[in-house]
Chains A and B, each alone.
Chain A
Amino acid sequence: MRQEPLLQAKEVDKIYPVGGHDFYALKNLSFTLNRGEFAGLIGPSGSGKTTLLNLLGALDTPNRGTIELLGEKLSHLSANKQALFRRLHISFIFQTYNLLPLYSVFENVELPLILLKLEPKERKKRVHEALEWLSLMDKAQAKPSQLSGGQAQRVAIARAMVKNPEIILADEPTANLDSEASHGILKTLRQINEEKGATFLFSTHDDKVIGYLKRKITLTDGQIVHDLSLPEPLKKR
C-alpha cells in the first residue's frame, strides 16, 4: 500500500455559535488520509463526523488549523479556487442521494463531466463506463423517481466516480437502504477502491459499513479517540 498523504487535517477547530456561546464541533483535530485508503469516521450522533467531512470537502472552512489536499491548503484558497478543487478532485455521496429529478440517470451522471467541460463524446464514453460498473446500463434513460433506493444510490455513486476524483467523501451512504442493498453497494465501493484505486472516506455508524472499512477513525465530541488500520488482506466475506 502506498503511503502517500492525500488529505491532511492539522489542529482543526470548528466552532458553531450556539445560544450565545461557542460550541466546539471539532476540537484540535489532526489526521492524515493516504491515497487509496478505504476509511471511515465512526462515532455517535453529534460527534462531528459530518462537520469534518464538510471541511475536508472544501464545503466549509475551519475556525483554526488547516486542511491540505494534494499539498494545497484549502482554507487559504478563495471560494472560487475551492470550487475548482471540488470540481476536479472531490466527489460526494449523500445519505439522500441528491439526484436531480428532472434529469435522466445518464444526465445526472454526466453533470460533473459537463462542469469539467469535457467533449460530449468523451462524456458519453465515461458515463457508460461508470453505469456499467454499477450495472445501471438498462436504467440510463430512467428518471430518478423510477428508481429504487439502492438504484438511486448506485446512480449517485456513478456520478461520484465518473470524473475519477482524488477522493470520494460519503456521508452515511447506506442510512436509507435495506441490508441487501447496503451490502451490494458496499461491495461495489470496495471494488472501485481496489480496482480503480479511488480513495474513500465514509462517515457512518452503520455496522454493515464498518465491516467493510480498512481503517476506522472513531470520533467523540469532536476529537479522534481511536484510529485503527486493519492489516491487509481483508478477510473475505
Chain B
Amino acid sequence: MRLWALLFFFCLTGLPLAAEPTAAEILRRLDQNQLYPTLFIESTMIIQGRKGQRRLRSQSWSQGREKSFIRYLSPPRERGTSMLKLKDQLWLYSPQADRTIAIAGHMLRQPIMGSDLSYEDMMERTSLVKNYQATKLDNEVIQGAGSWVLELKAKQAGLAYPKQRIWVDPKKIAATKVELYGSRGKLLKRVTIQSFIQTPTGWYPSDLTYKDMLK
C-alpha cells in the first residue's frame, strides 16, 4: 500500500543547541530535537489508500517522553476519537461507542486509521541514546548535500526495531531520512523528512512521509 503522511507543527519551547561530530554526540542531538518539556502539535495526516486520499486532522499535547494526548478533529466519522499515552500504556476513546479501550498486545501492531503508522510506532518516543549504540557509516550525498549516515543497533532486546539507519543533515543536525529494520534485518519502514521548523534547541520535522515497506 502506498501511503504517506504530512505533519505541520506550530508551537514549541526548548533548550539551546550545541554541535559535536561523533556518532554518540549526533545521537544526543537527535534526541534533543525530539524532546521538549511540553509540546503542542496540530497536524494533518494524508493517507493514500487504494480508493483515494483521506485527510485526518488532529491536535496533540505532550509532556516529555511519557505523556501525550491526541484528539482527532476531522473527518466527521473520527471527530472526537482520542488517544492517551501514559508511559507504556495506551488508551483509545470513541465517542460513538462511549468506550475507553486499552490498546495492547496484538493491537499495538495494527495501523492507526489505515495509515502506515502503527500504534507501536506512535508509542515509540524512547531516547535513541538510551536504547541504541550508534556507529558512523560513510557520508552520502542526498539531493546535492552531504549527509552523515548513522547505523543504530539496539542495546537491549524487545525494541520494535532492533536496527535503524539515520541520515543526518550536518548543518541542522537533524534526521532527513530514517530506515527502520526488523529483527531479521529486513527493511520495515522508511521515514523521509522534507522540511523542518527551527526551535530554540534544534530542528523539528514539519513535513514527513511514513511508508510501510512491506505493503
Whether A and B touch (Cβ < 8 Å) is answered with no
